[in-house]
Chains A and B, each alone.
Chain A
Amino acid sequence: MSEQHQDCEILAAHQVALLAAIQNRLIPSQDEMPGAGDAGCAQTVDRFLKERPALRRPIFAALNAVEAAAGECAQASAADEASTHVGFLALADTERDAVLRAVEAAQPDLFRTLVNQTYSAYYTNPAVLLILGWNPPQPEGHPTPPPFDEALLENVKQRGKLWRDA
């Protein structure tokens, strides 16, 4: 039986590590922005999987597809060596990106689920939102703009009636 990640209830420890590594390529770290995996998005996706069981099948399938494609990538780059299973975590960043693009091309719907759930975790992460300067919509709302200026409508009014009698 797979070892469970201490912060996760659905994903096994190796799946959490794999997902975080994928997420760091989907949304990489740049300047002040953390990578999605580093921001804890794998753990957040685990929560999504707990709350929405329908997501489990596509996410598990996507993780398996990435691992399978990573194995093929490693074999292709070491064709003259003995064939051994090499996973996504063993690849360099450029190879990881190539693997992800291959999975995206072969199974776009599965891959889109992986991307969407990663985006959903990242852009609802309080630390990320703090860096980006986004607050929840309430209670502050946004500043009330100046009143509408009816004078802007003069040209429209001058055109006269635009509807048909019936």
Chain B
Amino acid sequence: MAPDRDVADVLIIGAGASGAAAAWSLASGGLAVVCLEQGDWIDPTDYPHHRPDWELHRQTDFAKDPNVRQRPEDYPLNNDDSPIVPLMFNAVGGSTVHWSGHFPRFRPSDFRVKTLDDVADNWPLTYWDLEPYYEENDANIGVSGLEGDPSGPPRLPRQTPPLGLDAAAKTYIRGLKKLGWHWWPTENALITAPFGEVRQVCNYCGPCDMGCPRGAMSSAHVTYWPAALAKGARLITRARVREITVDRRGRASGAVYYTPDGGIAQQRARVVIVACNGVGTPRLLLNSVSSLFPHGLANSNGLVGTHLMFHPIAFVSGVFPDRVDGHAGPVGLLLHCHEFYETDLSRGFVRGIKIQLCRESGPLSTALGHFPGEAVPWGAAHHRVQRERSAHMLAIAIMVEDLPEPHNRVSLDPKLADGNDIPAPKVSYTVSENSRKALDFGIARARELLEAAGATEIMHQALARNSGWHLMGTARMGDDPGNSVVDRYGRAHDVPNLFIIDGSIFVTSAAVNPTSTIQALALYVSDWLKHNLREVA
């Protein structure tokens, strides 16, 4: 029988970090790939970096929080029951359109926390299973950094050199050397030397969190998508998926989506991949209700949406007497310290923390106290304090491993809906006692470091509300169908031709940024799928 040309081999829902990597991998393998994305391409001229009011756009159309940003392609979230707000961007490239681009890998121990520390669960795969995909991903997108960091396994030379040695780096290094702690230049999804034909190298402009108009950030819309489209993948933008459809056998048959004019369309496929992030994916599965799946797709055990993990983050800021020009480089990228990464129970908590040595931003960020959580005072002292802090401040981010807990979850809000009347997510989350102790430990260490580096004033924000960049765990991976949603290949236990490849499938969160691991997993799952398509589809 001739293949039905309207039926894609693989339908990918979501064009962000994982969807883009999978689209490239599968299209490169000769598969007919269609991707539905609710957002659109961001026009490079839309970025605010050339305008005097560029910092204002953090509060408007380039805000991290979709409830603040309120672009038509965004969906609202009910965050009333969470001290941390999920952050995301809905566009081709997803949240890699505006991010810090910090690109560390998990460590081997991060996949084996049950065995090593008797907490949570082990992953059904190891670091070494993913290692070739980490390398492949780095080579595909371009990573800056320096191999040889003794805080993790060896890796191949980075594609471009680490960021340069500026005043901010020298300031931190002064403190780190005094304390004798581990440190290393961060690995970044950003190019510091030519890589690829059309991208410009980083010119240290600073606000990566509002996107990169030069294409220096290795975001999915400048790396994987052009390559995937060249390989024949088809990307349909402004296509908001309402539900994944199933056939009478309980297999995924495609998706129904809204077109920009409000019409309804359907895309059929032999295999469906969900790549909508740790909030969007459970939302879509829970909205995909049918007689065969009355509680949502792939949710026979009720685990979809549960075990939500963020990385709770505290910021600690230091003010220095000399200029450190914190604004003059990628805001989230500089150095990292893994001195306290592995478990040491004498600290009062299990698992570990990452100390990420960041910078600052422009004068408005300083005035509002974006990082320290403490604004410059109004009144007679305003100009003096603003002068003391502006270009004289650096911020440290303390990131802790968040352990999976079933009561932290994404569910459907009974009232809230998006512009197409699709039920919106409700986030219910509490910071665990273990995470709180880890944050407090990290804050104390960051204060020590800033003091050793010469800071004369130190402020901290004990828990940053706008810090839910990393959305993980809500469709967890595992070998046991009673305790997980997908298997070791990202395949839903309940639906044999449905795959999930975003941060939802994380079993644990590690204490490092997840995108490198998300993309490595997407390539790993795609590779398996390419070799097993006949059996799966």
Contact = CB atoms under 8 A, between A and B. Distances in A.
Interface of A: 25-28, 30-31, 33, 51-52, 97, 100, 112, 115-116, 118-120, 122-126, 129, 132, 134, 136-150, 152-153, 155-157, 159-166
A134 B363 contact: yes
A166 B183 contact: no
Contacts of B363: 123, 129, 132, 134
Contact of A142 (B153, B165, B325): B325
A132 B362 CA distance: 11
A152 B173 contact: yes
A142 B162 contact: no
Nearest to B52: A126
How many chain B residues sit at the interface, stated as a range, is 35 or more
Nearest to B328: A142
Nearest to B339: A162
Contact of A164 (B109, B184, B206, B325): B109
27 contacts: A27-B383, A28-B383, A97-B379, A100-B378, A119-B367, A120-B368, A123-B55, A123-B362, A124-B52, A124-B55, A137-B54, A137-B205, A138-B49, A141-B203, A144-B203, A144-B204, A145-B164, A145-B165, A145-B329, A147-B161, A148-B161, A148-B185, A149-B165, A152-B165, A162-B151, A164-B109, A166-B127
Contacts of B59: 120
Contacts of B152: 163
Contact of A157 (B148, B161, B166): B148
A33 B383 contact: yes
A75 to B, nearest CB: 24
B126 A166 contact: yes
A126 B56 CA distance: 13
B342 A164 contact: yes
A12 B486 CA distance: 58
Interface centre among A119, A140, A142, A143 (most CB of B within 10 A): A119
Nearest to A134: B363
Contacts of B206: 137, 142
B182 A156 contact: yes
Contacts of A143: 204, 328
Interface of B: 47, 49-56, 59-60, 107-109, 111-112, 115-116, 126-127, 146, 148, 150-153, 161-167, 169, 173, 177, 180, 182-185, 202-207, 213-214, 325, 327-329, 338-339, 341-342, 362-364, 367-368, 375-376, 378-380, 382-383, 390
B177 A155 contact: yes
B343 to A, nearest CB: 8
A165 B202 CA distance: 35
Contact of B49 (A97, A100, A123, A136): A136
B44 to A, nearest CB: 10
B364 A120 contact: yes
Given A136-B50, A164-B116, 11 more contacts: A27-B382, A118-B378, A120-B55, A120-B56, A138-B203, A145-B163, A149-B165, A153-B146, A155-B180, A163-B152, A164-B107
A137 B204 CA distance: 9
Nearest to B128: A166
Contacts of A150: 146
Contact of A166 (B54, B108, B165, B367): B108
B158 to A, nearest CB: 11
A126 B51 CA distance: 9
A143 B339 CA distance: 31
A148 B109 contact: no
Nearest to B183: A156
Contact of B182 (A125, A137, A144, A159): A159
Given A137-B54, A143-B204, A166-B108, A25 B379 contact: yes
A112 to B, nearest CB: 8
B382 A26 contact: yes
Which among A144, A150, A155, A166 has the highest number of chain B CB atoms within 10 Å? Answer: A166
A148 B165 contact: yes
B435 to A, nearest CB: 21
B329 A142 contact: yes
A132 B164 CA distance: 26
B465 to A, nearest CB: 14
Contacts of A161: 150
Contacts of A132: 363, 390
A117 to B, nearest CB: 9
A138 B46 CA distance: 13
Nearest 3 pairs between A and B by C-beta? Answer: A141-B203, A145-B164, A137-B205
A138 to B, nearest CB: 4
Given A155-B180, A166-B126, A148 B148 contact: no
Contacts of B204: 141-145
B150 A159 contact: yes
Nearest to B55: A124
Contacts of B327: 142
A123 B53 CA distance: 8
Contacts of A139: 50
Nearest to A121: B56
A146 B115 CA distance: 44
A160 B152 CA distance: 11
B415 to A, nearest CB: 18
A150 B162 CA distance: 10
Nearest to B365: A123
B53 A124 contact: yes
Contacts of B52: 124-126, 129, 136
B129 to A, nearest CB: 12
